[in-house]
Structure 1
């Protein structure tokens, strides 16, 4: 079924994790996605965590690629972060950074950005160090298994973050809802789900390869969450400012919701 798509699929085909980071998250002067994919992520996560309702012992992160800047605020409110990846190269890329090995991707620009947004900036001076300390496990998972981390059984999470992930693993609306349901099962009753996505997109580019993106709008995202038993607490949509043909999304969406008990 996936072979009918003109684009590759993130979780099926070879994916260059380092080039993805260089294209969309680097500190290079010609990197045009800073406002949409760095600033927007950090600002909205900072806001929802600052309210104080989202906290606990365990946070599970299911995000595309090997970026970490979306975890700065989370590391202040959760003791343990478990990162799930479908791509081996992304696992290796992330572990290289966690272990502070030579050649790890540079995230200092995002740490500085996060610190600038905090009133008590001294509290967040070692943002990268706190994220490293909080990440307890990096685990490969299988989308098609009932227990996606089989044979591991993960403890229920107080929060799940899915950043740009449902967009690239879902080929249609049914897929999106099916995977959303699987992610929901990782939560405690009353647990929180944070989803960051791109709207009205069809592809993103890494090197010479174009990857599939599921096309949907804000109304669909809201209805999908409500249909799976979530109450939406916060929603922000930002118009695209990046000028680039690397990807064709129109807007970026941020939703924080909690699961009805």
Structure 2
């Protein structure tokens, strides 16, 4: 979260459309997406603490909820993940642990990166946060397989898809959990040039 706060507080990002790609696997989460009831309180609280504005939590929670204009389900089996008539191409695309979760192998990873990058205008940023060397994650007691992403794969495939990386940070895992087995993570920002 600190890395996202720093990235967005630089003033480098301009525009009105931010697309956030998250994986919602449980039926509870899908119901929340359908009703617009997805809870952002934990994210808002953490963002306010990082920004040193924890006393402004309620105001910022309201601003965040008003800023979310569309929640759209996507189908990774289709070439066009979402109907671009529903939302405009994004000025910034944030991908948080999605590519490895929805991909079975490297070919699938490349196809899904290509599909997600279609949601983004040229000349603007994609921000990717993902675990490295992860093989599974757990949600409500259910184990899900992931593509074992490695840092050289992500970097080379971004370049192959027309992105120029302008920030790359790998950090080691600091705590153990049975919920996932990643050994490190990457925070990457890149500009879509073509």
What band does the TM-score fall into relative to the shorter chain? 0.7 to 0.9
Structure 1 residues 124 and 237, CA gap change in structure 2 (3 angstroms) = farther
Tell me the residue number matched to 1:20.
Answer: none
For residue 16 of structure 2, the aligned residue among 51, 54, 57 is 57
Q: Indicate the residue corresponding to 1:73 in structure 2.
A: none
Is contact 1:87–1:140 with CA below 8 Å preserved after alignment? Answer: no
Q: Distance in 1 between matches of 2:109 and 2:101?
A: 10
Post-superposition Cα deviations, 1:22-42, rounded to whole Å, max 9, x if no partner, equal xxxxxxxxxxxxxxxxxxxx1
Task: Please report the TM-score for the alignment, with normalisation by the length of structure 2.
Answer: 0.88
Deviations 1:167-190 (A, max 9, x none): 110011111111111111111111
How many Å apart are 1:89 and its aligned residue?
4.2
The equivalences for 1:1-261 within 5 A come to: 42-65=1-24, 89-94=28-33, 98-99=36-37, 105=39, 107-108=41-42, 110-118=43-51, 126-150=59-83, 152=85, 154-261=87-194
Distance in 2, matches of 1:229 and 1:209, equals 36
How many pairs align? Answer: 194
Kept after mapping to 1: 8 A contact 2:135/2:145: yes
Aligned-residue CA RMSD (Å): 2.4
- Segments of structure 2 that go 5 or more residues without pairing to the other structure are none
Structure 1: runs of 5+ lacking an equivalent: 1-41, 66-85
| Cα contact 1:88–1:140 (8 A) shared by 2 | no
| Offset at residue 112 of structure 1 (A) | 3.0
Change (3 A) 1:213 1:162: same
Runs of 4+ in structure 1 off by over 3 angstroms are: 86-89, 119-125, 150-154
